Amino acid sequence: MEKTTSTPKGGLLGQSRTRREFLGTSAKVGGGIAAILATGQAPAYAQERELRMLVWSHFVPASDEELERQFKEFGKQAGVSVRMDRVAHLQLPAVLAGEVQGQKGHDIVNVSNSNPHLYSDHLEDISDIYGEIGADGGGWTAETMGKGRKGEQAALPWYFISFPLVFRKDLIAEIGEKVPDTWEDVHRVGMKLKAKGHPLGIQLAHSADANWINRGILWSHGAKLVAEDSRTVAVNTPETVEAFKFVRALYKDCMEQEVLAWDDRNNNVCMISGKCSMILNPISAYRAAVRENALIPGTQNLIAEQIEHVIPPKGPAGRHMCASFVGVGIWKFAKEKELAKEFLKYHFQKDNQNRLLVASKGYNQPVLAQFADHPLYSSDPKYAFATEIGKYTHSLGWPGVPTAAAQTVYDQYLLPDTLAECATDRLSPEDAVAKLEKQMKRVYKRLNRKY
Amino acid sequence: MEAVERTRHDLIRPPARPVLRVLRKMAGPDIDGYGFIMPAAFIMIALVVYPFCLAVYFSLSDAFIGEESQFIGIENFEYIITEDDIFLITIRNTLLFAFFSVVFKIVLGMAAALLLLKALRLKKFLRGSLLIPFVAPTALTTLGWWLIFDPTYSHINWILENVWPFYALGIGPYHWLGDPDLALYTCIFVNIWRGLPFFIITILAGLVSIPEHLYEAADIDGATAWDKFWKIAVPLLRPILAIIILFSTIFTLADFNIVFVLTRGGPINSTHLFATYSYVTGISNHEIGLGAAISLFLFPILVMIVIGLLRLVRRDTSYEL
Amino acid sequence: MNSSRTMAMDASTDPAVNEAVRNRTPVWRRRKTTYNYLALIPFVAFALFPLYIILITSIKSDQEIANLGQTPFWATGMTVDNYVYLAEKTAFFEDWLINTIIVSVASTVISVSIGILAAYALARLKFKGVEVFGIAVFVTYLVPQPLLFIPLIDVINFIDDIVPIRDTYWSLIITYPTFLTPFVIWLLLGYFKTIPVEVEECAYLDGCSRLGALRRVVLPMAMPGIICAVLFAFTLSWNEFLYSLVFIQAQEAKTIGVGVFTELIRGDVYYWGSLMAACFAGTIPIVVLYSFFMDYYVSGLTSGAIK
| C66–chain A Cβ distance below 8 A for any pair | yes
Average pLDDT over residues C151-163: 81
- Cα within 13 Å of Cα(B283), Cβ side: 27
Q: Is A104 an interface residue toward C (CB < 8 Å)?
A: yes
The superfamily in CATH containing domain B84-314 is: MetI-like (1.10.3720.10)
Under an 8 A CB cutoff, do C67 and A273 touch? Answer: yes
What pLDDT shows up at residue C130?
A: 79
- A95 residue type, one letter: V
pLDDT value for A37? 42
The pLDDT-based confidence of A284 (bands split at 50, 70, 90) is: confident
Is residue B5 over pLDDT 90? no
Chain C residue with CA closest to B240: the answer is C306
Domain boundaries, chain A: 50-161+324-379, 165-322+412-448
pLDDT surpassing 50 at residue A406: yes
Q: What is the pLDDT of residues A116-131, one digit of tens each?
A: 988 988 999 999 999 9
pTM of the predicted protein model? 0.82
**pLDDT one-digit tens code per residue, B241-251:** 877 777 777 77
How many beta-carbon contacts under 8 Å exist across A and C? 124
| Model pLDDT, residue C287 | 84
pLDDT-based confidence at residue C30 (cuts at 50, 70, 90): low
| A18 — pLDDT class (breaks 50, 70, 90) | very low
The C-alpha of C260 sits at a distance from chain B's nearest C-alpha, in angstroms, of 9
Q: What distance in Å separates the CA atoms of residue A386 and residue A141, rounded to the nearest whole number?
A: 14
C169 interfacial to chain A (CB closer than 8 Å): yes
Give the pLDDT band (50/70/90) at residue C301: low
Please report how many Cα atoms fall inside a 13 Å half-sphere around the Cα of residue B273, on the Cβ side.
29
The pLDDT of residue A433: 96
The residue among C234, C242, C192 whose CA lies nearest residue C100 is C234
Model confidence band, residue A35 (pLDDT cutoffs 50, 70, 90): very low
For residue C270, give the amino acid letter: Y
> Does residue A288 sit at the C interface (CB-CB below 8 Å)?
yes
Which residues of A are less than 8 Å from B267 in CB distance?
204-205, 260-261, 420
In tens, the pLDDT along A354-401 reads 999 999 888 888 888 888 888 888 888 888 888 888 889 998 888 888
Q: Are C100 and C284 in contact (CB under 8 A)?
A: no
Q: Which of A97, A122, A408 sits opposite B283 (nearest CB)?
A: A97
Q: Do A261 and B178 touch (CB under 8 A)?
A: yes
Does C62 lie at the interface with A, CB-CB under 8 angstroms?
Answer: yes
Write out chain C residues lying below 8 Å of B309, CB-based.
Answer: 138
What contacts B219, CB < 8 A, 6 or more positions away?
Answer: none
**H or E segment and range at residue C265:** strand C265-266
Look at residue C104 and tell me whether its pLDDT is greater than 80.
Answer: yes
At C258, which helix (H) or strand (E)?
A: helix C256-263
pLDDT at res. A401: 87
**Which pLDDT band holds residue A242 (cuts at 50, 70, 90)?**
very high
Chains contacting C (3+ CB pairs below 8 angstroms): A, B
The C residues from 133 to 162 touching A (CB cutoff 8 Å) are 149-150, 153-154, 156-157, 160-161
Do residue B288 and residue C4 have CB atoms under 8 angstroms apart?
Answer: no
- Give the mutation candidate from B286, B288, B290 for the A interface (greatest A CB count, under 10 A): B286
C contacts of A90 (beta carbons < 8 Å): 265
Residue pLDDT, tens place only, B245-271: 777 777 777 778 888 888 888 788 889
> What chain B residue is nearest to A418 in terms of C-alpha separation?
B268
As a dihedral over the C-alpha atoms of residue B278, residue B279, residue B281, residue B286, rounded to 10 degrees, the angle is 140
Give the pLDDT score at A438: 93
**C49-99 residue pLDDT tens:** 999 999 998 998 877 777 776 777 887 878 888 898 888 888 888 889 999
Q: Could you say which of A101, A274, A284 has the minimum Cβ distance to residue C268?
A: A284
- For residue A273, which residues of chain C lie inside 8 Å, CB to CB? 66-68
Q: What is the pLDDT of residue A6?
A: 34
pLDDT in tens, A286-342: 888 888 888 888 888 899 999 999 999 999 999 999 988 999 999 999 999 999 999
Residue in chain C closest to B49 (alpha carbons) equals C140
Size of interface B-C (CB pairs under 8 A): 341
Inter-chain touch A421–B151, beta carbons under 8 Å? no
Instruction: Tell me which CATH homologous superfamily contains domain A50-161+324-379.
Output: Periplasmic binding protein-like II (3.40.190.10)
State yes or no: pLDDT of A241 exceeds 90.
Answer: yes
Q: Categorize the per-residue pLDDT at C35 as very low, low, confident or very high, splitting at 50, 70 and 90.
A: confident
Q: Which residues of C touch B37 (CB under 8 A)?
A: 117-118, 121-122, 130, 133
Confidence of residue C105 (pLDDT cuts 50, 70, 90): very high
CA distance C146 to chain B (A): 6
> Is A95 close to C156, i.e. CB distance below 8 A?
no
The CATH number of the structural domain formed by C83-306 is: 1.10.3720.10
Question: CA-nearest residue of chain C to A94?
Answer: C246
Does the beta carbon of B172 lie under 8 angstroms from any beta carbon of chain A?
A: no
Chain B residues with beta carbon closer than 8 angstroms to that of A101:
65
By the 8 A CB rule, do A115 and A407 touch? Answer: yes
B23 at interface of A, judged by CB pairs closer than 8 A: no
Report the pLDDT value the prediction gives residue C10, as an integer from 0 to 100.
43
Q: Which residues of chain A are within 8 Å of residue B67 when distances are taken between CB atoms?
A: 121, 450
CA of A60: which chain C residue's CA is closest? C266
Q: For the residues of C94-143, what is the DSSP string, one character each?
A: IIIHHHHHHHHHHHHHHHHHHHHHHHHHHHH---TTHHHHHHHHHHHHHS
Instruction: Name which of B72, B79, B152 to mutate to probe chain A: the one with the most chain A Cβ atoms within 10 A of its Cβ.
Output: B152
What residues of chain A lie within 8 A of the CB of C94, using their CB?
A: none
Higher per-residue confidence, A418 vs A58: A418
Partner-chain contact B209 C39, CB within 8 Å: no
Mind telling me how many Å the CA of A381 is from chain B's nearest CA?
A: 29
Where in chain C do CATH 1.10.3720.10 domains reside? 83-306
**Mean pLDDT value across residues C225-229:** 85
- B180 to chain A: closest CA residue: A260
Q: Report d(CA B228, CA B215) in Å as an integer.
A: 7
Report the pLDDT value the prediction gives residue A122, as an integer from 0 to 100.
Answer: 93
Across the interface, whether the CB atoms of A258 and B175 are under 8 A apart is answered yes
Which of A269, A281, A284 to mutate against chain C (most C CBs within 10 Å)? A269
| Angstrom distance (rounded) from CA C132 to CA A348 | 61
Q: What residues of chain B, 76 to 105, have a C-beta less than 8 Å from chain C?
A: none
Indicate if A165-322+412-448 has the same CATH topology as A50-161+324-379.
yes
pLDDT surpassing 60 at residue C17? no
The 3-state DSSP class for residue B209 equals coil
The residue that leads in pLDDT, A194 or C34, is: A194
**C234/chain A closest Cα distance in angstroms:** 21
Q: For residues B16 and A276, what is the distance between their CA atoms, to the nearest angstrom?
A: 80
Residues B170-197: tens digit of each pLDDT? 776 788 888 888 899 999 999 999 989 8
CA of B183, closest CA in chain C: separation in Å?
18
Query: Residue C232 has what pLDDT?
Result: 81
Strand, coil or helix: what is C24?
A: coil
Q: Which of B83-97, C12-26, C39-53, C255-269 has the lowest mean pLDDT?
A: C12-26
Q: What is the rounded CA–CA span in Å between residue A241 and residue A430?
A: 6
Nearest to C176 by CA among C156, C193, C162, C191: C156
3-state SS, one letter per residue, for chain A: CHHHHCCCCCCCCCCCCCHHHHHHHHHHCHHHHHHHHHHCCCCHHHCCCEEEEEEECCCCHHHHHHHHHHHHHHHHHHCCEEEEEEECCCCHHHHHHHHHHHCCCCCEEECCCCHHHHCHHHECCCHHHHHHHHHHCCCECCCCCCECCCCCECCEEEEEECCCEEEEHHHHHHCCCCCCCEHHHHHHHHHHHHHCCCCEECCCCCCHHHHHHHHHHHHHCCCCCECCCCCCECCCCHHHHHHHHHHHHHHHHHCCHHHHCCCCCHHHHHHHCCCCCEEECCCHHHHHHHHHCCECCCCCCEHHHHEEEECCCEECCECCEECEEEEEEEECCCCCHHHHHHHHHHHCCHHHHHHHHHHCCCCCECCEHHHCCCHHHHHCHHHCCHHHHHHHEECCCCCCCCCHHHHHHHHCCHHHHHHHHHHCCCCCHHHHHHHHHHHHHHHHHHHHCCC
Task: Give the mean pLDDT of A167-190.
Answer: 93
Fold topology of A165-322+412-448: D-Maltodextrin-Binding Protein; domain 2 (3.40.190)
Contact between residue A162 and residue A280 where contact means Cβ atoms under 8 Å apart: no
The model's confidence at residue B17, banded by pLDDT at 50, 70 and 90, is: low
Mean pLDDT, all residues of chain A = 85
Residues A59 and A150: their CA atoms lie apart, in Å, by: 32
C245 to chain A: closest CA residue: A95
Record: contact C127-B29, CB cut-off 8 A = yes
- The angle, 0 to 180 degrees and rounded to 10, between the axes of the packed helices C145-162 and A92-102 is 50
Least confident among A71-80, B267-276, B285-294, C30-39: C30-39
For residue C307, what pLDDT is reported? 45
Could C127 and B28 be called an inter-chain contact, meaning their C-beta atoms sit closer than 8 Å? Answer: yes
- Mean pLDDT check: name the lowest of A211-220, B155-164, C136-145: C136-145
